[in-house]
Chain A
């Protein structure tokens, strides 16, 4: 199975900050990488797929980049509604696997 890691596991940030989360795969997954946002008590929400394609309806302050084994999710100007946990997920092969999550909370 492909192992996904994320860093940091948590971070504290202020509204307006630029936030970057890193996701690393244990082997190359080309661009088969998605990012999800999950708020407490809610289901995950797809933000980005194919490493850098913004899901319809997702604000443009979210962006993704990377290929192979290293990927990043960037939030250019953190908004109050962005405080949540973020997960990466690979779909290069089965089983699909998720990263352990990065919790973004208020500084």
Chain B
């Protein structure tokens, strides 16, 4: 069955960096667009970033543009999120998610990981 497992979360000071990973199994990783969606404690869902099936197309929310970078390694079935210049408002549970198509257009999220918690605090 489909599994997506995030890791790399933790506590980091404002201005710091963190790299999240999401290892997937149970599907042909290289055929799907992938995404990061976050949820601040007690709050709703916020889309963060997307990458196409081959990594050639990427999209970012304005709130993270220039600070976060999404990438993928299709040989290792792994999705990454490099987060730099972290702010307190980036504190959230970060989910990796899949959409059932190759591109980042008209996406819905049909599979989700369980999330990894990022806390930005001094």
Q: Taking chain A's interface residues, is the majority helix, strand, or loop, or is none over half, making it mixed?
A: loop
Contacts of A100 in B (CB 8 A): 44
Whether a CB of chain A sits under 8 angstroms from the CB of B76 is: no
Within 8 Å by CB of A87, from B44, B95, B106, B110, lies B44
Q: A46 contacts the other chain (Cβ, under 8 Å)?
A: yes
Q: How many A-B residue pairs have CB under 8 A?
A: 48
Q: Max chain B CB contacts within 10 Å: which of A42, A43, A91, A98?
A: A43
A49 engages B108 (CB within 8 Å): yes
Once A43-B95, A43-B113, A43-B114 are accepted as A-B contacts, the answer to whether A91 and B108 lie under 8 Å apart by CB is: yes
**Could you tell me if A92 and B110 are in contact, using CB atoms closer than 8 angstroms?**
no
Q: Please, which residue of chain B has its CB at the minimum distance from the CB of A49?
A: B108
B residues in contact with A60, CB < 8 Å: none
Residues of B within 8 A of A55 (CB): 110
Query: What residue in chain A is nearest B48 (Cβ atoms)?
Result: A95
B residues less than 8 Å from A96 (CB atoms): 47, 107
Residues of A within 8 A of B47 (CB): 95-98
Q: Which residues of A lie under 8 Å from residue B45 when comparing CB positions?
A: 36, 44, 87, 89, 98, 101
- Closest residue on chain A to residue B109 by CB atoms: A46
List residues 68-107 of chain A with CB under 8 A from any CB of chain B.
87, 89, 91-92, 94-101
Which B-chain residue is minimally distant from A96 (CB atoms)?
B47
Complex formed: what's the CA distance from A44 to B45 in Å?
9
